[in-house]
Amino acid sequence: MEKQLSEEVDGLAEKQIHFIGGGQMAEAIIRAVISNQTVSADRISVTDINEPRLQFLSSTYGVTSGSSPEQCLAEADLIVIAVRPQDNLAALGQAVHQFAAPTAAIVSIVAGVTIKKLADYFGAERPIIRVIPNTLTDTGYGYSGVALNAFADPAQVADFLLGFGKVQYLDEALIDVFTGYGVAGPNYIYYFIESLADAGVLAGLPREQAWNVALENVTGAVVMLKQTGLHPRQLLDINNSPGGVGIHGLYELNNSDFAAGLQRSVLAAVKRTTELGAK
């Protein structure tokens, strides 16, 4: 097993990865895979219409930014499409057809652009991997949602994707749900932690103390769930004695419609994802 893992990592280390687009999400992925030593900087190239942006990425991370787009495409094993949905994907597709190897895989992080549309642009028989990246790239946590076409093999991209978090392979029909729930998920957690810290301040704790307690409780609760394998309801039953402090707090939380409000938030995010994808 160790030999197989070493061979897979070595194989990825030999791959050339080219980013078309050097925006914030591309940078987050580049930063993570280099920091995690998943891919060395000299194996990553970036092209972007914003020259100062390219200079920043090159000077900050050591990636290649001065080569011609044609040369980068010709050398690439993975081509990461990291542009906006409204950008000229047809022109990018023509360049890929002209200069990239037929075996070079397309890894798209373009929001709302389906595998079918990507195949129209980049080739119906080319390996295409549609990725909805998580926003926790620097932590190693968080799932990216990934859908593959019939010509793509997870082995082509698994190590690269794991370089900036965890991966869940999905039917593409679930991508919008995954985006509104999974990728937007940290938003709900950030908001909850902020509100919990505010509650501590409202009750009388200094801000820093309330903040630290909120962070520690959230972290510890997640670890407890993972370590015990218990359902949250089971831990709630353990933590709350009859007529005690905790159950009185939960009673008020239930009256606030907290659970349904959170669920409505997720459904609204999923709905908006679908609307953006339809444009």
Taking only the tens of pLDDT, the chain with its 279 residues reads 444 444 444 456 679 999 999 999 999 999 999 999 999 999 999 999 999 999 999 999 999 987 789 999 999 999 999 998 889 999 999 999 999 999 999 999 998 899 999 999 999 999 999 999 998 998 989 999 999 999 999 999 999 999 999 999 999 999 999 999 999 999 999 999 999 999 999 999 999 999 999 999 999 999 999 999 999 999 999 999 999 999 999 999 999 999 999 999 999 999 998 887 777
What DSSP string runs through 31-98?
HHHHHTTSS-GGGEEEE-S-HHHHHHHHHHH--B-SS-HHHHHHH-SEEEE-S-TTS-HHHHHHHHHH
Between the alpha carbon of residue 207 and those of residues 3, 190, 201, 220, 221, the distances in Å are 51, 16, 6, 20, 21
Residues 148 and 128: beta-carbon distance below 8 Å: yes
Instruction: Report pLDDT for 6.
Output: 40
The candidate with the shortest Cα–Cα distance to 43, out of 76, 66, 10, 71, is: 76
pTM over 0.75: yes
SS3 124: coil
